[in-house]
Amino acid sequence: MSQITVNGIQTAYDVHGSGEPVLFIHGFPLSRRLWQHMVAPLAGRNTLIMPDLRGMGQSQATSDATMATYADDLAGLLDAIGQKMPVVVVGLSMGGYVAFEFFRRHRDRVRGLVFADTKAEADTPEAAKGRHETAAKVMAEGSKVVADAMTPKLFAKIAPDALVEEWRCIMSATPPMGVAAALKAMAVRPDSTRTLPEIRVPTLVIVGEEDVITPPASARTIHAGIATSQLKTIPDCGHMSPVEKPETIARMVGEFLKAC
């Protein structure tokens, strides 16, 4: 693990391998550990850049954030480590929301996109209200509030209990300030459906067949809106595809990177 100051905050990240760069963006409220199984199969051909978003994992938390904040942090990280080549951006769930914003703000740095278990639509007013209420509860009671609520929805029914518990603990350990800031950021994130026709780089859309958080219908919307995209569905998999079906998603991403 390395740490570097980006936009005034301490940012934790890993870099593996060599070759054309790939930037991995984890979901909420997770960490770069989400991508650990991608290293062995992909690092032989690519440089894998895996940061913790601000307020999650081992990166410093701030009381406020937006999708633009996260996207600019990532661009700043690329600058700080001297990575000038355009990257393939891989984002899961909230990481997909950040990937959309990264494309809007830094599209000259994007060589390709992978949207995994995410959606393009903004929150409804009711969903946004619920996020703000949960953010307040997290600040009062801790991140366990979110971890306990999310865990039953994250995995397919066949997921091992030990894997589910591992990630419940990771989410529970996320700093409450970071969790609350991310909830509020997601509540006000822009609708990315209007961005879809603007995306003309190679794009891969991946979704777990049993994902109930961002279901296959959401993936189909992204795929339908991006002319250069392909859609892959993973059977017996929920929202956490990189740890539920790591070999499958590594193969899909690896094949995409070779052709990208």
Q: Is residue 105 within 8 Å of 37, Cβ to Cβ? A: no
| 20: β partners | 46
What is the CB-side half-sphere exposure of residue 72 using CA atoms within 13 A?
8
Structural domain includes residue 25: yes
pTM over 0.75: yes
Q: How confident is the model at residue 174 (pLDDT cuts 50, 70, 90)?
A: very high
pLDDT (mean) for 200-222: 98
Predicted pLDDT at 223: 98
CATH number, domain with residue 74: 3.40.50.1820
Predicted pLDDT at 146: 97
Q: Is residue 160 classed exposed, middle or buried when 0-12, 13-18 and 19+ CB atoms within 10 A define those classes?
A: exposed
Which is it for strands 20-25 and 110-116: parallel, antiparallel or unpaired?
A: unpaired
- Whole-angstrom CA distances from 228 to 106, 202, 204 are 19, 5, 9
For 117: left if phi > 0, alpha if psi spans -120 to 50, otherwise beta; the answer is left
Q: Is residue 84 classed exposed, middle or buried when 0-12, 13-18 and 19+ CB atoms within 10 A define those classes?
A: exposed
Distance of alpha carbon 7 from alpha carbon 60, whole angstroms: 11
- For 176, residues 6+ apart whose C-beta sits below 8 A from its C-beta are 138, 139, 142, 143
Predicted pLDDT at 260: 86
Average pLDDT, the chain: 97
Structural domain includes residue 29: yes
- Whole-angstrom CA distances from 35 to 42, 66, 246 are 11, 23, 9
Q: How confident is the model at residue 98 (pLDDT cuts 50, 70, 90)?
A: very high
Structural domain includes residue 152: no
Structural domain includes residue 130: no
For 168: left if phi > 0, alpha if psi spans -120 to 50, otherwise beta; the answer is alpha
pLDDT above 90 for 247: yes
Structural domain includes residue 113: yes
Q: How confident is the model at residue 1 (pLDDT cuts 50, 70, 90)?
A: confident
pLDDT (mean) for 132-161: 97
Q: How confident is the model at residue 141 (pLDDT cuts 50, 70, 90)?
A: very high
Q: How confident is the model at residue 152 (pLDDT cuts 50, 70, 90)?
A: very high
Predicted pLDDT at 94: 98
Number of domains in the chain: 1
Structural domain includes residue 184: no
Structural domain includes residue 200: yes
**65: domain range?**
2-121+190-259
Q: Is residue 16 within 8 Å of 82, Cβ to Cβ? A: no
Which is it for strands 9-16 and 20-25: parallel, antiparallel or unpaired?
A: unpaired
Structural domain includes residue 241: yes
